[in-house]
Amino acid sequence: MNILVSNDDGVFALGIRALANALAADGHQVTVVCPDRERSATGHGLTLHRPLRVNQIEDVFASGVTAWACSGTPSDCVKLALDAILPAAPDFVVSGINHGANLGTDVLYSGTVSAAMEGVLEGISAIAISLTSFACKEFQPAADFAVKLVSQLEKNPLDLPVLLNVNVPPVPADAIKGAVIARQGIRRYFDQFEKRVDPRGKIYYWLAGEVMEEGEVELDVSSGDDQADLDKALSALSNQFMTDVKAIKANYITVTPLQSNLTAYAALNFIEAWQAVNLV
């Protein structure tokens, strides 16, 4: 299999080295195209007002892995790889292993998830994988799971426009309870902007966010009988699948399917009725 690997932690991050080397060791043809430095929390940003520069990287990855460092964002890297660097489309795009969690609402900011989503937008199966700790540096369990998941998808392709967002708990391999399919939970942050002054006397701010709340959120906009069936279906899914936030705390690897379509289907009828009354 031809696999494109990217990340948002940069070309010298331990996580991408563990991932690319593990996939290559399993017999895959691996090409790495990733940022030349850390570009965490860049979301789906693209570079439009300056050129993208790329350099081939040697002596970082295992023999057989071709690697390029790009001056742009994670999304830039995947777009550039697909449209300019690779001679043909890869079979998979795998992004990670991110150093830190991408759970719940983190995925809206994550460069790791956005890089994988670029693959989905081009019709390529994609995986984003993260180790849910900044302190832990043991990436091998996550790399081993990525190899296993790619093998499974090779045998049973996912013919849907979704990416699989994988989070791995920061515990030894024998302490991981298994893998579960999970739905997206929620993480709320308490954002703090620390005011500082640089050596030239100019004020700047440094953003530091701490997780304030973790859990789950449901959209409750019931508005009559025509909404009942959808409400029941959403409720059944909520009861069937744990959130990624809850499952990680129980030391499960979580696999959450994500899509680029952000439509809140449960709200369509509600908004339509509101519009008819107030805007027409």
Annotated binding-site positions: 8-9, 40, 98
| Residue whose C-alpha is closest to residue 218's, from 201, 230, 205 | 230
Q: 30 with 68: CB under 8 angstroms?
A: no
* Distance in angstroms (rounded) separating the CA atoms of residues 224 and 189: 34
Phi, psi (5° rounding) for residue 85? -95, -50
Q: To which H or E segment does residue 194 belong? A: strand 186-197
| Residue whose C-alpha is closest to residue 246's, from 256, 234, 235 | 256
- Binding residues for a divalent metal cation are 8-9, 40, 98
227, exposed or middle or buried, with CB in 10 Å at 0-12, 13-18, 19+?
middle
Q: 14 with 135: CB under 8 angstroms?
A: no
Q: 101 with 148: CB under 8 angstroms?
A: no
Phi, psi (5° rounding) for residue 42? -90, -5
